[in-house]
Amino acid sequence: MSTYTAINLVARPAPGPIPANVFEVIKKEIPSVGPGQILVKQTHMSLDPAMIGWMNPDPESYIPPVALGDVMRSSGLGEVVESQNPEFTVGDRVMGMTGWSEYILSTGEGLRKVQPGLDPEMVLSVFALPGLTATQGLFGFGHPKPGETILISGAAGSVGSIVGQLAKTEGLDVIGVAGSDEKCKWLVDDLGFDGAINYKSDDIDAKIKEFAPKGVDIYFENTGGPIQHHAIENMNAHGRVVVCGMISDYAAETPSAGPNWIPIIKKRITIQGYAMPDHFPQVAELVSKLTPYVMQGKVKYRAHVLEELESAIDGLNMLLTGANNGKLIVKL
């Protein structure tokens, strides 16, 4: 009997670091493929901050929580190794919501074919959730205009780094906030940001005023925490706040206090939160929007690759601490 490894969520994590005992590593028999089905061998799996929220039993979340006893939810990329579906042939590479599993039995629904020859790390770093999220957030809600200034928290992360590069290409001044001098250097020297702020050591307010003397027009929020207070205080009239993530609060026992709403009123600031499941019907459109930037070499990325499925358990905590340098990927 041939088996494969999968990892189930078996308990809800308490606030703080995620312990290994909320997961269970199991062995399963490789399933038989029936009519209309395909068997996918996953080769690369994405770790994203949203996954931490998916583990919590929040009935008001934008997506149902992962049920206890189910395979942990994630997106990934793999190869079709057996097919009884005329839409897929053996050898096709596909991507989509795959889960923490070495093999996936599927009807093909929700899976997209991956163009041959594309590097899997690039696919998951740019054309999967990070790139789609960045494109939707910036263009769908940020409404960037040449000459404006955008401030991005979590700017060295997989989403923030793409937002900044797209904004720079559109003629904006781009300021990134990150958690180390190395990350700040990467943003400026490699990605072409106009300025970068180390929130752990810099005077955030003073740095914003230095890099954005005319104020901030768009604030792209990935992290939450005290950065947002400084961002709101330095925004221009009719500014836009695009709320993509709150990684600093995902595992916190008490969420951080929000910014003062008086400047929001005085400056007529628009605040828009969003989640990508609402926009899955627009994936083809978003890919079409993103692709020219990538093909012209205007979007760079870096991947932080972990080896083997079980490394995902510790990998989630890297997202909470910012220990990863680049898009966090598990290579199976």
CATH number at residue 257: 3.40.50.720
Domain boundary among 261, 277, 293: 277
* Rounded CA separation 86/195 (Å): 51
Report pLDDT digits (tens) over 233-278.
999 999 999 999 998 887 777 888 888 999 999 999 999 999 998 9
pLDDT reported for residue 60: 83
Cβ pair 269, 57 in contact under 8 A: no
Same-domain pairing of 62 and 170? no
Confidence of residue 158 (pLDDT cuts 50, 70, 90): very high
Task: Say if residue 20 is in the same domain as residue 57.
Answer: yes
For residue 113, the tally of other CB atoms under 10 A from its CB is: 15
Residue 202 pLDDT exceeds 80: yes
Please count the other Cβ atoms lying within 10 Å of the Cβ belonging to residue 190.
12
Give the pLDDT confidence of 81-115 residue by residue, as tens digits: 999 999 999 999 999 999 999 999 999 999 999 98
Asked if residue 262 belongs to a domain, the reply is yes
Which residues have CB under 8 Å from 269's CB, separation 6+?
Answer: 232, 235, 238, 239, 240, 241, 263
Identify the pLDDT of residue 300: 95
Q: Which of these, 284, 250, 321, 322, lies nearest to 113 by C-alpha position?
A: 284
Give the mean model confidence (pLDDT) for residues 191-220: 97
Band of the pLDDT at 58, cuts 50, 70, 90?
A: confident
- State the average pLDDT for the chain: 95
pLDDT, residue 251, reads: 74
Q: For residue 1, what pLDDT is reported? A: 61
> What is the maximal distance between C-alpha atoms in the chain?
68
Domain that holds residue 227: 130-277
Q: Are residues 135 and 268 in the same domain?
A: yes
| Number of domains within the chain | 2
Q: What is the structure's pLDDT at 255?
A: 81
Assign 35 to helix, strand or coil.
coil
